[in-house]
Chain A
Amino acid sequence: MIEYRDVGMHYSDDTQVLHHINFTIEDGELFVLVGPSGTGKTTALKMLNGLVVPTDGNIYFDGKRIKEYDIRKLRLQMGYVLQNISLFPNLTIEDNIGIQLEEMKRPTAERKQIAADLLNTVGLPAEKYAHRMPSELSGGEQQRVGIIRAIAARPKVVLMDEPFSALDPVSRHNLQDLVLQIHQKYNSTILFVTHDMNEALRLGDRIGVMAEGDMQQIATPQALLDHPANDIVRSFFSGISKTDKPVVELLKQAQTCTVIDESEAQSLPQVDALITTADLVTTLRQHPDGVVTHSGGRLFKITMDDLLDFLAAGGEALV
């Protein structure tokens, strides 16, 4: 368990980048810190692996303060995915993935095996990719390697600092899926930082919304949509809510819902085509199989995944 207790950060000239924030991350949780850039979320993340030392408060990792750990040993138990990927350009993909294992003095054969297995799982066949250099891979492929590099040593915690912000929407979407897969498969604790609310909604078990160096609200994605704590949090959805078009219309435009026939529609609850986003979320939580709506003479099936995909793909772009 990770616990931020009264953690603050200010510089010598008294600029406060982080006020006293408190939150906990449970083991196996995918916790997302979201907020506009410059709100201290990356600073908060880097405090966990000691890249930044807080000026106030303490962070507890498994009940012990971070500053009491041998920082290098602690870092070996943490994976790290960087915004600009930062694969070591002089090392092969295989060596990049095995770098933490190498530091742990694990035998070469084992390192190779782990790298190969991971590469195969993420759709980069090991026999083709293991010995390539990072520069020979596309940006999306590189970050795929960046993610498996972070989990190769089976760390207790994986830190991801805006890992997909530099990628194109398709790669971003695929890699978000990868993060969810990994999270499910290894049940690893993940602290994920992003400025993209849709990404946060799609990934987070729980989401901490940060703004102006303060924690605004910590809640599940549905609760955030249902009950934003204040105007700041609400404003994150402005992109989605500022249009008069009903959400169903937007989903149709984005083709993130499926046309079904009447026989299939009978088993699902029906919602009004003019339903609000928040209401849709609430309904979908109660009906995990999805809901049906009647629009423009056709029947559409909408699931929670459809909605989150739409939001994550940057729903506001369509507005």
Chain B
Amino acid sequence: MFKQIEEVLRTQSGQIWQAIGEHIAISLISLLIACLIAIPLAIALMNHHRIAEFFLQVAGVFQTIPSLAILGILIPFVGIGTVPAIIALVIYAIMPLFQNTYAGLTDIDPSLEEAATAFGLSRSRKLFRLELPLAMPMILSGLRIATVMIIGTATLAALIGAGGLGTYIILGIENNNNALLLIGAVLSAILAIVFSALIRLLERVHFTKRGVIVTLCVFLIACGAGAFKYFAPSRQTITIAGKMGSEPEILINMYKDLIQQESPKTKVVVKPNFGGTSFLFKALESKQIDVYPEFTGTVLQAIVKEKGKTPHNPEVTYKKAKTALAKDNQMTYLKPMAYQNGYDLAVSRSFAKKYHLKTISDLAKVGDKATAAFDPDFYHQADGYPGLKKAYGLHIGTVKTMESSIRYEAIADHRVKVVDGYTTDPEIQKDHLVVLKDNKHFFPPYQGAPLMTTTFADRHPEVKRALSKLAGKITTTDMQKMNYDVTFKHEKAATVARHYLKTHGLLN
């Protein structure tokens, strides 16, 4: 585990720094906006207790909405990316900031207020000379609470494509990679601690110096945000996103190279590890992204919600998916690549050799001699083990269910002989496993192909042309090897992608 963490830190330090940068930027911008809303509001309402109480109630209600729900609610209105993330974080941070500022301002000894009034001080002098300085410890403690909360919650920003350290957490969960998960979680915790400590330091600084420091920070954030805006992609560029993991990242880098070969002036932005299926699809619909690779089987099962069984013939599956997408969603689905990334059954090489196993039918004959480790979903779902039992009459002696990454460890340690998996899993190469042929075509076919809106496809024939070059290319073995290079040899997805395109004559 530590070796793994060290390896990731060494090979991906650039991306990690970028994620930290994004995380800080999102957090500080949100914090700044929340301050600009909550503190003036508390000042305005300090003498209107009823309205303030009402506002506190409302803010409290917002606080109880789970952050994921807020992000979900926001997507139809503001789309995905940094904007909804910042809005959600601002909503969260307003409550502690407002509450503390309001409490700080209203808890001031009434006789001090009376003295200030009796001396004829103006409203603003009273505020800046007396009320704000006296409320400052409370305001700063609110700021600290809000900061820690924002930095923690900002990890969820990764779910809607805003980047940050959450990317590593989600990647870690999706790929069952504890090293990535720990890196994301520990770094965001460290960030929270560091910022909390910085604000604590600020509390000890003299009031006027504090003003200077805060102004400076605001200025820096504003500059950062400005630069962010400046370098942020304009709508002239083509944005390609991918799901979590190495395989989509390799694919979208191929897309990028191919598009830029076809039309060198086009700027292409890739957004790897952008989110899950429904999220990416929504992003495509709302034109936040232009293209992403999607599986034919996933289209039928998760997107167009096709009734009945998914056909076992890959070509029929693709055609059905393409037609449904065009009709219901005005989307263009280009021709798929060769490889299939569906469920498979893999056995250890020694076990395969011993019983001459090549197909699942072969395994069915010696099923009682085998021990298997299956993913819980695979064990229960109709298109998993129960279906296999029916289709092949397969009955395995002992079946254990375990988490998807652990089952590969189990087979590598020779504790089980059979595992389920995906055909392009890099562990197949790493652990020298033999994938059994689905000779009865039981598993629904999952072929990857570029998905885009029809409007986009019509407007960019060069993209269509470029991406169609991948149709029928990349075999399952190719994909396994590339996944292996990225996941275990820690090569860059972009390098692996370019290497493939060049060696196969797709890129000059």
Residues of A within 8 A of B (CB): 49, 51, 71-78, 80, 82, 84, 86, 88-91, 99-100, 102-103, 159
Complex: A72 Cα to B130 Cα, angstroms? 17
Q: Are A90 and B119 neighbours in the complex by a CB distance under 8 Å?
A: no
Interface residues of B in 339-363 (CB under 8 A from A): none
Whether A103 pairs with B115 at a CB distance below 8 angstroms is no
Answer whether A86 and B129 are a contact pair too, CB < 8 Å, given A73-B120, A100-B120: no
**Which residues in chain B, 74-133, are within 8 Å of chain A measured between CB atoms?**
109, 111-112, 114-122, 125, 129-130, 133
| Identity of the chain A residue whose Cβ is nearest the Cβ of B115 in the assembled complex | A86
Give 24 pairs: A residue, B residue, CB < 8 Å, sorted on A. Answer: A71-B120, A72-B122, A73-B120, A75-B120, A76-B120, A77-B120, A78-B120, A80-B118, A80-B119, A82-B111, A82-B115, A86-B109, A88-B115, A88-B116, A88-B129, A88-B130, A89-B134, A90-B130, A90-B134, A91-B129, A91-B130, A99-B119, A99-B121, A102-B125
Partner of A75, one of B119, B129, B130, B134: B119
> Could you tell me if A49 and B118 are in contact, using CB atoms closer than 8 angstroms?
yes
- How far is it, in angstroms, between the C-alpha of A102 and the C-alpha of B125 when the chains are bound? 9
Docked complex Cα distance between A72 and B116 (Å): 11
Shortest beta-carbon distance from A82 to chain B in Å: 6
B219 interface residue (CB < 8 Å to A):
no
Tell me the complex Cα distance, A49–B129, Å. 21
Q: Which of B111, B115, B116, B129 has the most CB of A within 10 A?
A: B115
Contact with A along B183-196 (1 / 0, CB 8 A): 00000000000000
Q: Which residue of B lies closest to A71 (CB)?
A: B120
5 smallest CB-CB distances across A and B, nearest first, come from: A75-B120, A76-B120, A80-B118, A90-B133, A86-B115
Contact of A100 among B109, B112, B119, B134 (CB under 8 A): B119
Number of B residues with CB within 8 Å of any CB on chain A: 18
Interface residue? B207 (CB, 8 A): yes
Separation of A86 and B119 alpha carbons in the complex (Å): 12
In the bound complex, do residue A86 and residue B114 qualify as a contact, i.e. CB atoms below 8 Å apart?
A: yes
Could you tell me the dominant secondary structure of chain A's interface residues? mixed
Instruction: Identify the closest chain A residue to B132 (Cβ).
Output: A90
Q: Assuming A90-B130, A90-B133, is B122 touching A75 (CB within 8 A)?
A: no
Residues of B within 8 A of A159 (CB): 118
B125–A103 touching, CB < 8 Å: yes
A residues in contact with B118, CB < 8 Å: 49, 51, 75, 78, 80, 159
Known interface pairs A51-B117, A75-B117, A99-B129; A88-B122 also in contact (CB < 8 Å): no
Structural contact, A84 and B111, CB atoms closer than 8 A: yes
Task: Select from chain B the residue with minimum beta-carbon distance to A72.
Answer: B120
Residues of A within 8 A of B134 (CB): 89-90
A residues near B112, Cβ cutoff 8 Å? 86, 88-89
- Give the secondary structure class of B's interface: helix
Contact call A76/B111, Cβ cutoff below 8 A = no
| Neighbouring B residues of A99 by C-beta, 8 Å | 116, 119, 121, 129
In this complex, the member of B118, B125, B207 whose beta carbon has the largest number of chain A beta carbons within 10 angstroms is B118
Report Cα–Cα, A86/B118, bound state, in Å. Answer: 12
Question: B110 — nearest CB in chain A belongs to which residue?
Answer: A86
Q: Known: A88-B116, A89-B134. Is A103-B109 also a contact (CB below 8 A)?
A: no
Min CB–CB distance B138 → chain A (angstroms):
13
Chain B residues with CB under 8 Å of A78's CB are 118, 120
**CB contact list, B116-156 vs A, under 8 A:** 116-122, 125, 129-130, 133-134
Query: Least Cβ distance of B115 to chain A in Å?
Result: 4
Per the bound structure, the CA–CA distance linking A229 and B133 in Å amounts to 51
Whether the pair A76, B119 counts as a contact (CB closer than 8 A) is yes
Residues of chain B contacted by A51 (CB below 8 angstroms): 114, 117-118
Alpha-carbon separation in the docked complex, A76 to B122 (Å): 10
Give, as a whole number of angstroms, the nearest-CB distance from A158 to chain B.
Answer: 11
CA distance A159 to B114 in the complex (A): 13
| Nearest A residue (CB) for B123 | A72
**Closest chain B residue to A49 by CB distance?**
B118
In the complex, chain B residues 166-204 whose Cβ is within 8 Å of any chain A Cβ? none
Known: A86-B114, A88-B116. 7 other contacts (CB 8 A): A86-B111, A86-B112, A89-B112, A91-B130, A99-B116, A100-B119, A159-B118
Residue of A nearest to B120 (CB): A75
The answer for the CA separation of A72 and B126 in the assembled complex, in Å, is 12
Cα distance, A69 to B115, chains bound together (Å):
19
Query: How far apart are the CA atoms of A88 and B122 in the complex, in Å?
Result: 15
Query: How far, in whole Å, are A71 and B119 apart by their CA atoms in the complex?
Result: 11
Chain A residue with the shortest CB-CB distance to B134: A90
Do residues B111 and A103 form an inter-chain contact, with CB atoms below 8 A?
A: no
Q: Which residues of A contact B122 (CB under 8 A)?
A: 72, 103
A51 to chain B, nearest CB (A): 6
Chain B residues with Cβ below 8 Å from A76 are 119-120
Contact with A along B297-313 (1 / 0, CB 8 A): 00000000000000000
Tell me which residues across on chain B come within 8 A of A80, comparing CB atoms.
115, 118-119
A60 nearest CB across to chain B (Å) = 19
Q: How far is the CB of A31 from chain B (nearest CB, A)?
A: 18
> Are A74 and B120 CB-contacts (below 8 A) given A88-B129, A88-B130, A91-B129?
yes
Interface string of B214-238 (1 = CB under 8 A from A): 0000000000000000000000000
> How long is the Cα–Cα vector from A103 to B134 in the complex, in angstroms?
19
Expressed in whole angstroms, the Cα–Cα distance for A157 and B119 within the complex equals: 12
